[in-house]
Amino acid sequence: MLRLDPGETRIRDARRFDVHVGGGEFNVAYALSNCFDLRTAVITALADNEVGSLMRSLIRHGGVDTSMISWSDDGGTGGLARNGLNFTERGYGMRPAFGVSDRAQSAASRMAPGDVDWEAVFTGRGARWLHTGGVFTTLSESTLRLTLQAVRAAKKHGAVVSYDVNFRPSLWQALGDYEAHTRIVHQIFEHVDILITNEPEYRLSIGEPPPTDDLPSRDQFARMTEDVHKRFPQVSLIAATQRRTTSASTNDWAAVAWTPHDGLIHSSTHESLDILDRVGAGDSFVAGLAYGLLTAQTLEWSLELGVAHGALVMTTPGDTSSARRTEVEALAARRGIVAVR
């Protein structure tokens, strides 16, 4: 989506916006390319107009391969297909971050099974990791079915599948037929290797009510891992970020992971973290974690890379990463802050 950022003011009072591009799945690909120097590509659809061209230019800025973007006729007025917009306030102090999405009838939401040549993706291009999640999946009934097709194709070709649940009530409400669609998500989860979620979002995505007890988030996470392992035994890693909010500008920031072999692993906590823009931090965590795993690092170090990367991304405007790998590694190792001149 094209993110329109009003800066320090409110959306309702803004007279100009800074332009960024972002999206739950895309942010991961951008960071893996721009920060961690890995080859990535994005599979999506854009309306074939000047706004779509702007979005492609912003995507390319991070080194992400755009050759698998499909272009949709907008009908001249956007009536056939649109490019999604996201107006997002960063928040400050006691005023939380706030977003307004304008993405109905977007080109991406109209993607359907058959639109992507998965054989070419996994055999021709040799993709070894597919990352997707609950935002793209629930854009429409057709993207639900396309995601299921994608994860099946990935597993057929031996690729790793990571899935960030990212439960969005507004998308699920627009989708309708909650029970039927959670059954499809359940099928998607059957092909996932790495699941990024907390317990409330996990429960809601499989058609169950969220927990009503007051257990701390780490205890909820531990309980959830038992349920995931029983229902989806092929899942080899579950991870989640953990945030304690003092204000929109100050958070404690950490993560937790679980594997059948290692059990629970907790990252170190970045306490009283100063935040400029929190949007995209979770995706940045996933990128750092994925980089560690793709380069055969230990899970403990991969978790620290994810947390450090997310912390750095919250210091700059926009969803995407402007960090350098060396900065991430230094913060993960807690080497302190040193001016570079």
DSSP E strand stretches across the chain: 2-5, 18-21, 45-47, 70-72, 85-89, 98-102, 129-133, 160-164, 194-196, 237-247, 250-259, 263-266, 270-274
190, two tokens? 């059957």
- pLDDT above 60 (res 95): yes
- Residue 204: how many CB atoms within 10 A of its CB? 20
Tell me the domain boundaries of the chain. 24-45+104-333
List CB contacts of 144: < 8 A, sequence separation 6 or more: 137, 138, 175, 181, 184, 185
Return the amino acid letter for 124: G
For residue 339, what pLDDT band results from cuts at 50, 70 and 90?
low
- pLDDT above 60 (res 338): no
DSSP 94: T
List CB contacts of 135: < 8 A, sequence separation 6 or more: 23, 24, 25, 166, 168, 171
Q: What percent of the chain has pLDDT over 90?
A: 94
DSSP 120: I
pLDDT in tens, 131-181: 999 999 999 999 999 999 999 999 999 999 999 999 999 999 999 999 999
Polymer length in residues for the chain: 341
182, two tokens? 């959670």
- Residue 270: how many CB atoms within 10 A of its CB? 18
- Find out whether 84 and 111 touch, Cβ atoms under 8 Å: no
pLDDT in tens, 198-241: 999 999 999 999 999 888 888 999 999 999 999 999 999 999 99
Q: Which CATH superfamily is domain 24-45+104-333 in?
A: Ribokinase (3.40.1190.20)
Return the amino acid letter for 212: T
C-alpha distance from residue 61 to each of 21, 93, 319, 337 (Å): 10, 32, 14, 27
- Find out whether 132 and 165 touch, Cβ atoms under 8 Å: no
The Cα–Cα gap between 106 and 83 comes to 5
- pLDDT above 60 (res 337): no
Lowest mean pLDDT among 20-34, 212-226, 293-307: 212-226
pTM: 0.95
The pLDDT of residue 302 is 98
pLDDT in tens, 28-86: 999 999 999 999 999 999 999 999 999 999 999 999 999 999 999 999 888 899 999 99
For residue 334, what pLDDT band results from cuts at 50, 70 and 90?
confident
The Cα–Cα gap between 52 and 81 comes to 11
C-alpha distance from residue 325 to each of 16, 248, 288, 308 (Å): 32, 26, 9, 10
The pLDDT of residue 336 is 59
The pLDDT of residue 214 is 84
For residue 283, what pLDDT band results from cuts at 50, 70 and 90?
very high
